[in-house]
Amino acid sequence: MTPKAKLRITPLFVISAMLVALWLFLASFPFLWTLWGSFKVQADFFSKADWRNALSGVNTIAQTGSAYTGTGYFGAWIQEEFWKPVTNSSIVIFFTVIISLTIGTLGGYALARSGRRYAFWILMAALVFRAMPHITLVSGYLLPFFEWNIWGLMPTTIIVLVAINQPFTLWMLHSFFLNIPKDMDESAMVDGCTRFQAFWHVIIPVMWPGVITTGLFSFLLAYNDFAVTSMLLSQENETMIPAIAGFLGTVQVEGNVMFAVAAVVSATVPLLFLVMFFQKQIVSGLTTGAVKG
Amino acid sequence: MPNRTFFWFILPAMTAMILLIALPIVSVLIQSVHIQHEQVLVTSESCDPFGCTQVTSIDTEATAKLRAEKPLGRFIGLDTYTDRAHLAIDEVSKAWSSSDSMGAFLKRVLNLPLYKALAFTITYTVFVTPLVILLGLAVAVGVNNLPKIIKGPTVFISLLPMIITPLVGSIILFWMVDGDGIIGAMLQRIFEDNSLSLKASPRLTWIMLIVYGVWHHLPFSFIVFYAGLQTVSEDTMEAAMIDGASSWQRMIHVVVPHLMPLVIFLLLIQLMDNFRVFEPIIGFSAEAHATSLSWIIFNALRESGSPLFSSAGATSMITIVGVVILLVPLLVHTYRGYNKKTN
């Protein structure tokens, strides 16, 4: 089809363009609105009288003398010590991603090169495991973890997140390794490498695009998790998302809702940058399972 | 690859999955057929000048000791499954025999916690899944027709609702629809009802959660369809155009059949994902009117002081059975795909 034919203005084209515009508005507006509002005072962001107050910041000017205020951020990060859960989150996420990728790469490679029937059944089992709601698994962890005195510790949560991550990681990396020609590592083995040497010297140098894509999704799982981290971590090891949930209860009572708004925006911004820099990888990761079958 | 090599390569991943996914499911099953020990009662005789009376009191120390020694409790079989908080066999059969119409029966059954949660979970799944697929396809077709230069930013914005942490995303929307938030206040103005609150009525709460669900899941179906659209054969499209097919006809007769496998894939994935709905209920503080199976488990574990392991276990098993039922078509689908590839 020529580009000209594509751009012909038909009623259908107009309708679909309007639908896209509406979708883009719905997809972006909540983020822009909350980001903008996080620099206002509560009376503006939650303004019953007039929503335009949030834009102009009438009450913000009245209360602080400027149209923008960082009190929400100060309150969240310093007063409520939001930096602590953020630090904890960074530790948990970092180790979860590194360990997931290390053991997932080995497993995914083996599954892609095995060619036996049991490798397929392992993948099927992984599919079943992936479908398990995380909270059902958590209800199985609590009692043993209490008994062994490992509840509340960060390493425990990291290992749990790694395990929960494995089914997906194995599937992604397995389908990625299938796309690397077998000849590459097999010819290395003909030259006298062991399987592991072939993997180390031949596969590792070319696997990074697939590993980065998979790593992004491991990152998102660890970053977005609420069920596991909220149930398995003690108060001082709490991560970001459970901390935000906790904020909702406490700061709302004290009238510091803007603290929670600032915390929510702080937790959203890293994700915006992630999508900005890795858009291509995220899209390709989302479609591997579907389009290639 | 020889079995030995395969074994060493897969060992760490398999160990993690067996220890922390397979065994916990077994642990959940065991928990669900046990219950915490009852309080230890001691009977003592207290005598006064007017005679002796038997006094029964709770031996707190012994109770605590027993519970600490055997945290799993005692075996009770399937009683937890059948009690009022779960499958409520007695209550359902009583409701069946005493209600004169189907409506009355349903009304009584849907007041039981598990069925209430099931009703919301199923409604949510049934509405969100098709809406996500239809709207995702529509948006994908729309974006595909756009000039190339704005496609990139469009995809960027479209990804946001899905990438956002579910809990954070639902909190953001909740603040907007809250009575003082921008959408909530606007609705109050439009309907001239200052007490209008999306939280107050069950129906509005459900609609709110369903809208959130569509918002959150639409990007996935959009991206999948968008990728699929890039693989539509241009020759077929051109041939259809030469034969005089309008763009709508081309859409229905060429594009949609081409995307059909993706529709099935999305349907299976979405059914499973939506069945697990959990975070939005927390984010929207919607538990008064809408609960889900996952939320019931969470709530049982949250029970202050002593988590209800038995109850959480039973609900978890019921959830797992539900998930497995929804999973069977996906497994069959994958199995067929694999056999096609290898044969």
pLDDT per position as a tens digit, A212-259 = 999 999 999 999 999 999 999 998 899 999 999 988 877 777 778 889
**Mean pLDDT on A113-122:** 89
The per-residue pLDDT for range B126-183, each reduced to its tens digit, is 999 999 999 999 999 999 888 888 888 999 999 999 999 999 999 999 999 887 888 8
Looking at the fold, whether A86 and A46 belong to one and the same domain comes out as no
**Chain A residues with beta carbon closer than 8 angstroms to that of B20:** 137, 141, 159-160, 163-164
Identity of the amino acid at A186:
E
Mean pLDDT of chain B: 88
Looking at the fold, whether A52 and A136 belong to one and the same domain comes out as no
What CATH architecture does domain B112-342 belong to?
Orthogonal Bundle (1.10)
Task: Please give the residue that has the higher pLDDT: either B21 or B199.
Answer: B21
Instruction: For B143-157, give the secondary structure using H, E and C.
Output: HHCCCHHHHHHHHHH
Sign of CA dihedral B144, B149, B152, B158: negative
Looking at the fold, whether A153 and A94 belong to one and the same domain comes out as yes
**Domain extents in chain B:** 75-111, 112-342
What pLDDT is stored for residue B304 in this prediction?
Answer: 66
**Is there a contact between B185 and A289 if contact means CB atoms under 8 Å apart?**
no
Which helix (H) or strand (E) is B34 found in, with range?
Answer: strand B34-35
**Is there a contact between A120 and B159 if contact means CB atoms under 8 Å apart?**
no
Q: Is residue A2 over pLDDT 50? A: no
Highest mean pLDDT among A45-49, B37-41, B127-131, B258-262: B127-131
Looking at the fold, whether A130 and A227 belong to one and the same domain comes out as yes
What pLDDT is stored for residue B343 in this prediction?
Answer: 60
Reported ipTM: the value is 0.90
The answer to whether A101 and A170 are in contact (CB under 8 A) is no
The answer to whether B194 and B188 are in contact (CB under 8 A) is yes
Report how far residue B307's alpha carbon sits from residue A135's, in angstroms, rounded to the nearest whole number.
14
**Chain A, nearest residue to B326 by Cα:** A131
**Mean pLDDT on A189-193:** 89
Task: Give residue A292's pLDDT band: very low, low, confident or very high (50, 70, 90).
Answer: very low
* Structural domain total, chain A: 2
**Is there a contact between B227 and A133 if contact means CB atoms under 8 Å apart?**
no
Phi-psi region of B31 (alpha: psi -120 to 50; beta: other; left: phi over 0): alpha
**Mean pLDDT on B80-108:** 85
Q: Is residue A291 over pLDDT 70? A: no
Q: Residue A45 sits in which domain range?
A: 3-72
Structure tokens at B167: 């809990």
Q: Is residue A4 over pLDDT 60? A: no
The per-residue pLDDT for range A59-108, each reduced to its tens digit, is 888 888 888 888 889 988 998 899 999 999 999 999 999 999 999 999 99
**Is there a contact between B156 and A279 if contact means CB atoms under 8 Å apart?**
yes
Q: How does DSSP assign B266-325, residue by residue?
A: HHHHHHHHHHT--HHHHHTT-TTT---HHHHHHHHHHSSSS--HHHHHHHHHHHHHHHHH
Looking at the fold, whether A84 and A216 belong to one and the same domain comes out as yes
What pLDDT is stored for residue A276 in this prediction?
Answer: 92
Distances (CA, A) of B139 to A13, A31, A289, B101: 12, 20, 21, 44
Looking at the fold, whether A10 and A131 belong to one and the same domain comes out as no
Looking at the fold, whether A84 and A131 belong to one and the same domain comes out as yes
Looking at the fold, whether A137 and A17 belong to one and the same domain comes out as no
Selected residue of B3, B19, B20 to mutate for chain A interface (largest A Cβ count, 10 A): B20
- Using the 3D structure, point to which of A72, A101, A124 is the last residue of a domain: A72
Residues contacting A210, CB < 8 A, separation 6+: A172, A173, A176, A177, A179
Q: Is residue B264 over pLDDT 60? A: yes
**Is there a contact between B20 and A27 if contact means CB atoms under 8 Å apart?**
no
Note whether B187 contacts A: Cβ–Cβ < 8 A.
Answer: no
**Chain A residues with beta carbon closer than 8 angstroms to that of B3:** 116
What pLDDT is stored for residue A243 in this prediction?
Answer: 93
Looking at the fold, whether A123 and A194 belong to one and the same domain comes out as yes
Q: Hey, how many other C-beta atoms are within 10 angstroms of the C-beta on A151?
A: 18
What pLDDT is stored for residue A290 in this prediction?
Answer: 57
Angle of helix A208-224 relative to helix A240-254, nearest 10 degrees, comes to: 30
Looking at the fold, whether A83 and A203 belong to one and the same domain comes out as yes
Looking at the fold, whether A110 and A93 belong to one and the same domain comes out as yes
**Chain B residues with beta carbon closer than 8 angstroms to that of A147:** 71
Shortest CB distance from B164 goes to which of A13, A16, A268?
Answer: A268
3-state secondary structure of B48: strand
Note whether B305 contacts A: Cβ–Cβ < 8 A.
Answer: no
Selected residue of A18, A23, A51, A185 to mutate for chain B interface (largest B Cβ count, 10 A): A23
Q: What percent of chain B has pLDDT over 90?
A: 40
**Is there a contact between B316 and A223 if contact means CB atoms under 8 Å apart?**
no
Selected residue of B3, B4, B5, B6 to mutate for chain A interface (largest A Cβ count, 10 A): B6
Note whether A275 contacts B: Cβ–Cβ < 8 A.
Answer: yes
Q: What percent of chain A has pLDDT over 90?
A: 52
**Mean pLDDT on A161-177:** 93
Note whether B167 contacts A: Cβ–Cβ < 8 A.
Answer: yes
Looking at the fold, whether A146 and A251 belong to one and the same domain comes out as yes
Highest mean pLDDT among A209-213, A288-292, B96-100, B185-189: A209-213
Report how far residue A90's alpha carbon sits from residue B92's, in angstroms, rounded to the nearest whole number.
49
Structure tokens at A178: 């299938």
**Is there a contact between B334 and A127 if contact means CB atoms under 8 Å apart?**
yes
Q: Is residue A3 over pLDDT 50? A: no
Sign of CA dihedral B165, B170, B171, B177: positive
CATH number at residue A196: 1.10.3720.10
Report how many Cβ contacts below 8 Å link chain A to chain B: 291
Which helix (H) or strand (E) is B58 found in, with range?
Answer: strand B51-58
DSSP B39: P
3-state secondary structure of A7: coil
What pLDDT is stored for residue A55 in this prediction?
Answer: 82
The answer to whether A274 and A97 are in contact (CB under 8 A) is no
- Using the 3D structure, point to which of A52, A72, A92 is the last residue of a domain: A72
Burial B81-99, CB ≥16 within 10 A → b, else e? bebebbbbeebbeebeeee
The answer to whether B250 and B240 are in contact (CB under 8 A) is yes
Selected residue of A1, A135, A214 to mutate for chain B interface (largest B Cβ count, 10 A): A135
Report how far residue A214's alpha carbon sits from residue A170's, in angstroms, rounded to the nearest whole number.
9
Note whether A279 contacts B: Cβ–Cβ < 8 A.
Answer: yes
